[in-house]
Structure 1
Amino acid sequence: MSASDNQQLVVASELHLLKVKTWFSSTAEIYTWGGPSMVYPMADDTFLTLMCAAHLNSYSLIDSAQQVLAFGQFYVRLGRHHLGRLAVNPQCRGQGIAKPLIRQLLAQAPKQQNAQGASLFVFIDNHVALQCYQSLGFKLARYPEAMPGNMQNCHYMILD
């Protein structure tokens, strides 16, 4: 799999979600990515229930062979299109997949929900992701409320 393969953003299927679940191999990894409800190991049906909450829009970036290259969700948070649970297939990391994923999610979000601008959280020590988001125009911002869930060690970033 490479970034040069024909890529397409599609609504994530249950099979895609279960593939994404295999990208994590510890409670720390899945908790950091998915939030305080995520544990490892986790039953497939529990994972799917958490991933398919009504307010979440879930998308997979796939290649021409239908392989899941990356995954992301968006929903409205504080009036912005908020990106969450962004992940790149471990076999595809370092191949420039995150930027196309984010660009396509940001293009799709206004078609699904009413909001202005975009936002996301990034863990302070995730320098690769921080650099990626900054290169796309996201800027560090003060979160206007108490940091939610497991986000105390995160930066809040916005894109206007």
Structure 2
Amino acid sequence: MQLTFFDERDTTVLRSWFPSQQAVVQWAGPGVAWPLTDGFLATLLNSASQQPATLLTFTARQEGQQVAVAQLGFDWDNHLACLCRVVVNPQMRGQGLAEQMLQRLIDNAFRQPPIERIELQVYPFNGAAVRTYEKLGFVREGVRRACVAVGEERWDSAFYGLLRTEYSARSAA
């Protein structure tokens, strides 16, 4: 698997992965419209130029095909990184691609000496994502109940964290 910064050629494929507003909210949060707009996609394209990095967008490729997208954000003042907007090509789910990509992003984040914690949010009904995050060592820290409105529904959001000490212990084992 190859990780690169998200670029212009990735936008068309990414748009095709979302069939509804609910699917977009599950990936990007309640503030992002479906279909994905050019304006939103432009925010994903400036990763390579950020100094210092604040929100990097990556594309994972396998045999030249775009298989996943994820973001890694940094809060340098608080020594935090955040995994967000993780999505796998719908035709390739269930193959462990998210785990491979996320492990590389986690390794990358903890290679930054100031980073002491990586956190993320996930909707608890997304069982595949929850299992992947827990397999990677993330610990569930809490739930914001009914915090996201999606049409007539209200979704919970679970918070997960991984500390450098936990990552180091897992890596040593």
Fold-level match, TM-score > 0.5? Answer: yes
Q: 1:13 aligns with which of 2, 7, 13?
A: 7
Q: Kindly tell me: are residues 138 and 110 of structure 1, through their superposed partners in 2, closer, same or farther at Cα, counting changes over 3 Å?
A: closer
Structure with the higher fraction of residues in helix conformation:
2
Summarize deviations over 1:77-130 as a string: whole Å, max 9, x none: 553210000011111101111110101111223567942221111101111111
Looking at structure 2, the residues matched to 73 and 82 of structure 1 have their Cα atoms a distance apart, in angstroms, of 8
- RMSD of the alignment, in Å? 2.6
Higher relative contact order (CA 8 A, sep 6+): 1
Q: What's 2:85 paired with?
A: 85
Matches within 5 A, 1:1-160: 7-43=1-37, 45-52=38-45, 55-64=54-63, 66-77=64-75, 79-110=79-110, 114-142=114-142, 150=148, 153-160=156-163
Worse overlay, 125-134 or 102-111: 102-111
Alpha-carbon separation, structure 2, partners of 1:93 and 1:153? 23
Could you tell me how far apart the structure 2 residues matched to 1:150 and 1:15 are?
31
Identity of aligned residues (%): 27
SS at match of 2:42: helix
Amino acid at match of 1:49: A
The 1:86–1:113 alpha-carbon spacing in structure 2 relative to 1, beyond 3 Å, is farther
CA–CA distance in 1 between the matches of 2:112 and 2:20? 33
Distance change (3 Å), C-alpha of 1:95 and 1:35:
same
Q: Paired residues, what number?
A: 149
